């Protein structure tokens, strides 16, 4: 099988670095030694194993992408950048006809999806690339559509803990609110509790110290008004390895879709990836 060229954007961010580390060692991929980064990043080069990545800032990326495209006829971008950059990066990819897999959360998701759907660029976009969590979300969506108002009258509490550097509320938690509200709750996404205090995470949540800098713990609690019944759903992820295989599956899926030039659909989700035969 011919190797797939990958441009991994978001270095020196932790998730992008983890993705790059695994991709370099994966025989299915050829990793391009460039990475889009933020204007505030001081380093010009970021090294992982044998590759010295040139970090490309917004003020030079329009020019630099032409150089990259002249060297690589085709490639897929993987985007794990910053929530504030989501919409700008998607616009950049579509303007330059670069297919992409975006696991970055945040931004205006409605505009993001509309942009890709109206463009000539294919993409897989999901607030979470962990296949097991995506499967859990799909199960909850099925329940919401099949048993609407099942939890009518129940109160919902959502609390999520992530590493201190995560700027926004969990995209996964936000996505779950829609399903729970279909199930009968009346929950405002702005009421999701965010925990970013490492001391609190270690002492009260009992999150292993080695994973304070990279984790995602979520708890969804449904409680009857009279206190007679309580239902609780949890997914606690330590580290970032779980997101790697899902991201790579999304890349392989997108590569297959790119081989179908007459396919009118441009926007895909991780549910599409999980349904890949």
Active site residues: 162, 166
Contacts of 239 (CB under 8 A, 6+ apart): 211, 214, 215
- Please say whether the beta carbons of 19 and 244 come within 8 A: yes
Which residues, other chains included, contact 228 with Cβ-Cβ below 8 Å and sequence gap of 6+? Answer: none
Instruction: Supply 190's token pair.
Output: 């702005």
Give the number of other Cβ atoms within 10 Å of residue 272's Cβ. 16
- Residue 118's contacts (CB-CB under 8 Å, 6 or more residues apart) are none
> Does residue 170 contact residue 212 with C-beta atoms inside 8 Å?
no
| End-to-end CA, the chain | 18
Give the residue from 165, 144, 13 showing the smallest Cα distance to 78. Answer: 13
């Amino acid at each position: 099988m011919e190797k797939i060229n990958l441009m991994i954007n978001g270095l020196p961010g932790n998730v992008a670095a983890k993705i790059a580390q695994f991709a370099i060692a994966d025989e299915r991929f050829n990793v391009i030694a460039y990475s889009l980064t933020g204007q505030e990043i001081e380093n010009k080069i970021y090294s992982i194993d044998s590759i010295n990545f040139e970090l490309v800032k917004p003020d030079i990326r329009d020019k630099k992408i032409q150089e990259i495209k002249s060297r690589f006829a085709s490639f897929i971008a993987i985007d794990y950048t910053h929530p504030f950059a989501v919409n700008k990066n998607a616009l950049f990819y579509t303007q330059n006809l670069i297919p992409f897999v975006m696991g970055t959360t945040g931004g205006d998701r409605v505009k993001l999806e509309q942009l890709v759907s109206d463009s000539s660029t294919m993409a897989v976009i999901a607030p979470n690339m962990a296949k097991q969590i995506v499967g859990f979300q799909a199960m909850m969506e099925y329940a919401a559509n099949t048993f609407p108002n099942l939890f009518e009258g129940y109160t919902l509490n959502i609390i999520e803990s992530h590493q201190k550097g995560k700027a926004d509320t969990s995209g996964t938690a936000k996505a779950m609110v829609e399903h729970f509200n279909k199930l009968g709750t009346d929950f405002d996404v702005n009421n999701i509790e965010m925990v970013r205090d490492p001391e609190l995470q270690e002492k009260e949540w009992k999150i292993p110290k080695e994973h304070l800098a990279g984790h995602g713990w979520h708890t969804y609690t449904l409680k009857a008004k009279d206190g007679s019944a309580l239902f609780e759903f949890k997914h606690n992820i330590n580290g970032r390895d779980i997101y790697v295989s899902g991201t790579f599956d999304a890349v392989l899926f997108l590569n297959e879709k790119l081989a179908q030039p007459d396919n009118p659909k441009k926007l895909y989700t991780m549910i599409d990836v999980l349904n890949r035969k």
